[in-house]
Amino acid sequence: MKKNAPIPARTIERMVLYKGILTDLQSKGLQMLFSHQLAELAHNTSTQVRRDLMEIGCSGSPRRGYPVAELIDAITRILNGNKERTIALVGIGNLGRAILSYFASKHPELTIAAAFDTDERRVNRVVSGCRCYHLDCFEQLVREKQINLGIITVPAASAQSVADRMTGAGIRGILNFAPVPLKVPKGVFVDRIDIASSLEKLAYFTGLD
């Protein structure tokens, strides 16, 4: 792989999938695996898996396959880059609290450094190990904690104003759970998760029979 060469978004998506599969296999004691085994679990082809792993500098042995631990380390380095990922979550409702709980138990390598809300009943407390603050403190804490990613779990009407505050504070990656598209400056990456739309799509396709 060329130094500093950008990796396509589809490849990164597959890397995230591979890492999850590999981490689960490692927890079950597996130390080596072949590309066709990973391909089967990822619903991919062994050719695509080998191409993806070669792109991040991994080559396995024809006889023994790939070391699972080394693959996880290599993928983690690619996904993490050279900068620690520190996250701010805005919106401590039911969904926000569920995400805080999930991250605390399933993804200790992803740090939600602070959570924010405007409801006085939800601030000045700790939820799943994360300190919750009033949104008025947002810009100050983003600077102090060097936060570079954001999660939005507020109602649709508030999502754009929250996104504006995030980008204004220097955050360049946003995961948006609000059911509304966001307008962000060039250079800011937004990934939108719309659960209701996904369920509607599922309902349509399952109704074809």
Residue 103 tokens, joined:
């991250």
Give the chain's domain count: 2
Give a yes or no: residue 2 inside a domain: no
When pLDDT is averaged across residues 201-208 and rounded to a whole number, the result is 78
Residue span of the structural domain in which 107 resides: 86-198
When pLDDT is averaged across residues 111-115 and rounded to a whole number, the result is 92
Give a yes or no: residue 207 inside a domain: no
Give a yes or no: residue 91 inside a domain: yes
190 and 90 within one domain: yes
Give a yes or no: residue 142 inside a domain: yes
The letter for the amino acid at 15 is M
110 and 57 within one domain: no
Give a yes or no: residue 205 inside a domain: no
**CA-closest candidate to residue 19, choices 102, 106, 99, 97:** 106
pLDDT of residue 108: 62
93 and 176 within one domain: yes
pLDDT of residue 5: 60
The CATH number of the domain holding residue 127 is 3.40.50.720
Rounded distance between C-alpha atoms, residue 2 and residue 46, angstroms: 23
pLDDT in tens, 40-65: 999 999 999 999 998 888 888 888 89
pLDDT score of 207 more than 80:
no
97 and 166 within one domain: yes
What residues have CB less than 8 Å from 171, skipping those under 6 apart?
88, 142, 147, 148, 149, 150, 188
51 and 150 within one domain: no
pLDDT in tens, 145-191: 999 999 999 999 999 999 999 999 999 999 999 989 999 999 999 99
The CATH number of the domain holding residue 20 is 1.10.10.10
**CA-closest candidate to residue 126, choices 85, 92, 177:** 92
Rounded distance between C-alpha atoms, residue 150 and residue 197, angstroms: 22
Provide the whole-model pTM: 0.75
pLDDT of residue 79: 81
Q: Which of 118-122, 190-194, 195-199, 204-208 has the lowest mean pLDDT?
A: 204-208
98 and 74 within one domain: no
179 and 95 within one domain: yes
